[in-house]
Chains A and B, each alone.
Chain A
Amino acid sequence: MTAELATRGITKSFGGVQALAECTLTAPSGQITGLIGPNGSGKTTLFNIITGYERPDAGQVFLGSQEITKAAPRRVFALGVGRTFQLTRIFPRLTVLENMLVPSGHLRGGPAGSPGQRNSAGGGRGHRERAMELLAFTGIDGLSGALAGTLSYGQRKLLELSYVLVADPAVVLLDEPAGGVNPSLVNHLADRISELNKAGRTFLIVEHNMDFVMGLCHQVTVLDYGTVIASGPPDLIRNDPRVLDAYLGSALLDAQAADEPAVDD
């Protein structure tokens, strides 16, 4: 149930704005890959293209050896790529447990020893039990009867992660899982991701929280203006001059400019 996710030469523009230019990256099988970059560098657009919510102007997406470039979201999900959204998209007027029963858990046959998923009307026993197990895993099983719309922001992130896991995806894409979440929940989330990864899942994570990314990821890929400008282990990326420039360059220059005394007077 592990798989490598790769993009090759993805290009996408919206009107005159080029969001992605020849973007080629790999999320190696069984690893956690971080995807970072300044705002507007094309991270979410790339997620949308990988998961079928948007079509690229050029380029290809591969899951293992299979090309999934033009697959619809439903198909991408069925093939084993689950994702969460930056602004969580849960079903607010369903209960937490009902949210868990929306994804088709049987699409890839599920893990061994999870019987009765196919005919689970409204959640047959197998489906329902697995849903509760996953909620217990992410730690929100106590809220299973609550309407999802009443959850806090962090709890919603956990719910979204939980129901993506229902289909037992080989690859999980997380769009800013730690954004706006309180620090203790961030650690909890990192532990869960780590644990899922040890079981073999491939992760590709967009995140601005650098401690989170550097602590969790095996590989980090940096996007700037829609192109990969660096890729490698966290320690190398942290000190890469191109990355520092992309992230801090303008800010540094601005700061220097502000510090310099005005000489014109």
Chain B
Amino acid sequence: MTAQRTLRAAGLVVLLAVVAVFPLVFTNPTATLFAIDTLIFVIVASAWNMFSGFSGYLSLGHAVFYGTGAYFMAVAANDWHMNGSAAFELLPLAGLVAALIAVPVGLIALRVRRHTFVVITIAFFFIAQLAASNLSVTGGSSGLILPSPPFASATFNNPFYYLAAVLAVLTVALAWLVRRSRYGLQLRAIRDDEDRAAGLGVRTMPVKLSALVLSAFITGMAGALWVYFIGTAYPMFVFDPLFDLAVVLMAFFGGLGTIAGPVLGALVLEPAQQWLTLQTTGYESEILFGALFLVIILFLPRGVLPTAAEYLTKGRAVLARRRERPPGQSPSELAESRGGSSRS
């Protein structure tokens, strides 16, 4: 047990070290661009999982919060003439605006469950996209252009990279804290049987709503960081249905409701998606990702990590059994011992 813990801690340190030195080793802007995108998806997939993975309320509308954060950033940076590292100070504010939007969204959507909830989150997504294409504050369909950050061109990506990395680490740490808290336990109890949890004294609505608001806050900050990095805000890209699908796929791929699952999903799938998009004319990657989604839902519905952990435990049990078995046992005894342990 302790050896496993040490191994885990060592792995974590190595991962953090890799994240820290990555832009120093790979100075190519395309590499850091991929890395920033990936880190942003680590943030969003973990934040999504903190609400949807823990509570079982699958949201297909997190782009609403991502886009709200992004548009707030675009408007505020322009109107308040904030640029460079000063603009980064707008990130928590962008998160706050997204969190504020999450309150009415949650109060309405969280009254229903399962597929009805999913459909309502999709409806909110389309409302947000339509609003962004038609309101004057968002620049309508012609979009908004953000002030260009005054960073040196050789290391232009680095501030964005490190900010995304810090946010990603904080988000994953927060997810870990939530999962092991009583609050996280209540969320997972809601996932298993909400009415029963309510009957045992859990205040289900405040618990669900606060998880959604927290998730929206982080997602909004990620959206703001992303839009400032790419420099333009168009409704089609800021409110992108594929964004929601990608986030959900990442969490499902790694393992819904786990801490490492969404991180793994983002680390594997986002670079793969970027690479495929470069190699092809574009839409092939989406077809492939759709196929991947099917494969995962059909064969690994609980995700890569929980399934792998299960196989590991089984493998260890088999090894332990082999070691325990004394040499020269008769076949009948073998069969017996095998039957006995498989039942336990």
Q: Pick out which of these stretches binds chain B: A17-25, A38-46, A96-104.
A: A96-104
Q: Does B193 contact A (CB under 8 A)?
A: yes
- Count of residues in B whose CB is under 8 Å from the partner chain: 21
Contact B182 A93 (CB under 8 A): no
A residues 174-224 touching B (CB-CB < 8 Å): none
Contact B198 A74 (CB under 8 A): yes
Which among B184, B191, B192, B201 is the interface contact of A104 at CB below 8 angstroms?
Answer: B201
Contact A93 B188 (CB under 8 A): yes
Which residues of A are found within 8 Å of B192, using beta-carbon distances?
91-94
Cα–Cα, bound, A76→B199 (Å): 8
Contact B201 A167 (CB under 8 A): yes
Contact A74 B185 (CB under 8 A): no
Q: Distance in Å from the Cβ of A211 to the closest Cβ of chain B?
A: 30
B181-211 interface bits toward A, Cβ cutoff 8 Å, 1 = contact, 0 = none: 1111110110111011111111100000000
Which among B182, B188, B201 is the interface contact of A121 at CB below 8 angstroms?
Answer: B182
Q: Does B180 contact A (CB under 8 A)?
A: yes
Contact B201 A94 (CB under 8 A): no
Q: Does A62 contact B (CB under 8 A)?
A: no
Cα–Cα, bound, A78→B200 (Å): 8
Cα–Cα, bound, A120→B185 (Å): 12
Contacts A93-B188, A98-B185 given; does A77 touch B193 at CB 8 Å: no
Which residues of A are found within 8 Å of B196, using beta-carbon distances?
85, 89-91
Q: Does A53 contact B (CB under 8 A)?
A: yes
Contacts A91-B192, A91-B193, A93-B192 given; does A102 touch B199 at CB 8 Å: no
Cα–Cα, bound, A72→B201 (Å): 10
Which among B180, B195, B200, B202 is the interface contact of A122 at CB below 8 angstroms?
Answer: B180
Contacts A73-B198, A103-B201 given; does A93 touch B191 at CB 8 Å: yes
Contact B203 A74 (CB under 8 A): yes
Which among B180, B195, B200, B203 is the interface contact of A102 at CB below 8 angstroms?
Answer: B200
Which among A73, A76, A94 is the interface contact of B189 at CB below 8 angstroms?
Answer: A94
Contact B199 A121 (CB under 8 A): no
Which residues of B are found within 8 Å of A91, using beta-carbon distances?
188-189, 192-193, 196-197
A residues 107-149 touching B (CB-CB < 8 Å): 107, 120-123
Cα–Cα, bound, A72→B198 (Å): 9
Contacts A91-B192, A91-B193, A93-B191 given; does A122 touch B185 at CB 8 Å: yes
Which residues of B are found within 8 Å of A163, using beta-carbon distances?
200
Report the nearest B residue to A164, measured CB to CB. B200
Interface residues of A (CB under 8 A from B): 51-53, 72-74, 76-78, 83, 85, 89-94, 98, 101-104, 107, 120-123, 163-164, 167
